[in-house]
Copies of this chain bind each other. A is one copy, B any other.
Amino acid sequence: MIAILEAGCSVRAKAEIVRLIESVGCRVQVSESESGSLIGVVGQGAAGLEERLAGMAGVAEVRPVAPPYPLVSREHHPEATTIKLDRCTIGGRELTVMAGPCSVESEEQLMAVARAAAEAGARVLRGGAFKPRSSPYSFQGLGERGLELLAAAREETGLAVVTEVLAPEDVELVARHADILQIGARSMQNFRLLAAVGDQPRPVLLKRGLMATSEELLMAAEYVVAHGNPRVVLCERGIRTFETATRNTLDIAAIPVLRARSHLPVIVDPSHAAGYREYVPALSLAAIAAGADGLIVEVHPDPERALSDGRQSLTPRAFSAMMGEVGGVAAAVGRAMPAPLRRGEA
């Protein structure tokens, strides 16, 4: 249930509203935008409140939830959300490119990629420390040691760090080292985990499940926001279809669809979508042309020896070449690439 507040609703009136909601054991989620304020009521006692809330000062209207993701919907929040980090803003005019290896494997590997990424214009370093692997016998990531290496790479390069968190019990640890917490495709409907990352202050990169509709992705985002964290970045990474020429099928239309329905920024992962590095540049350019706010790309100094996903990783050289092309398309659609954080040595 959501309560739409009157334009001039006083702070005092708001406080009364919140008090009432909390008095029945529900939780409050306030969403303020230029076009008005909205109070989401979360919890099982919500239904009983409808009439009382509607009668309170400052409340313009009480509605059952429709669309089912009121807090992330554009309906009541027409302006795009931007998410500010130290050296980049996700969702603004400048694109945000995240790059790095699938898994953090060693200091040498990570530093090589981080430097190359910073030189090529990326602003965020990606790298898995806790890896969800479909086999119990596969490499599961370096764990905390991987997080420390990521933090060290940030120190040296100025790149922000995004890395996956697999379970509620790891959220605090990962949030201590990372700037953005990634929820992987396989965890998109791990509702406890969504609640846990909603209950801490780091921005969240939420990847679409392999067989999730765009509406389900928005409802997963709603979980995070309803638990208190409005800083969510949506990520399209390919869905599962019958086509076998690529690992997944990039749903390029999800970009305009998500942007039409939600105010949250949208980025694209061309690496997992394609599964083969030769198709990554075409998908990256397409994503930017279609309106994406950025990319998350796998880069590895020696893809043939990567412990995971080598077939879809770009070399630093190929990544750098691609970034030049991305900049051209970005300019053509009114966006821009930020200046590189580091100067290349060549």
Contacts and interface: CB of A to CB of B under 8 A. Distances in A.
Contacts of A243: 213-214, 239, 251, 254
Interface stretch (A14-22, A82-90, A162-170, A314-322): A162-170
Nearest to A216: B134
Interface string A214-243: 111001101100110000000000011111
Interface stretch (A52-60, A150-158, A324-332): A324-332
Interface string A17-41: 0000000000000000000000000
A330 to B, nearest CB: 8
Contacts of A65: 135, 137
Nearest to A270: B253
Given A68-B135, A222-B136, A283 B290 contact: yes
Given A168-B169, A257-B246, A287 B286 contact: yes
A78 interface: no
Residue of A213, A255, A260, A286 with most chain B CB atoms under a 10 A cut-off = A286
Contacts of A328: 332-333
Contacts of A192: 166-167
B240 A242 contact: yes
A273 interface: yes
Contacts of A137: 1, 42, 46, 65, 68, 226
Nearest to A220: B134
Nearest to A238: B253
How many monomers of this protein are in the complex? Answer: 4
A50 to B, nearest CB: 13
A275 B214 CA distance: 16
A169 B166 contact: no
A26 to B, nearest CB: 10
A245 B291 CA distance: 17
Contacts of A214: 243, 245
Contact of A187 (B44, B135, B190): B190
Interface in A276-333: 278-279, 282-283, 285-291, 325, 328-329, 331-333
B249 A241 contact: yes
Contacts of A195: 136
A210 interface: yes
Contacts of A255: 282, 286
A191 B210 contact: no
22 contacts: A65-B135, A136-B195, A136-B219, A136-B226, A136-B227, A137-B226, A166-B191, A213-B245, A215-B245, A240-B242, A241-B242, A242-B242, A249-B249, A252-B283, A252-B286, A253-B274, A256-B279, A282-B291, A285-B289, A289-B329, A329-B332, A329-B333
Given A211-B211, A214-B243, 15 more contacts: A134-B220, A136-B191, A136-B219, A136-B226, A166-B191, A167-B192, A186-B189, A239-B242, A245-B253, A250-B252, A256-B278, A286-B287, A288-B289, A289-B289, A331-B332
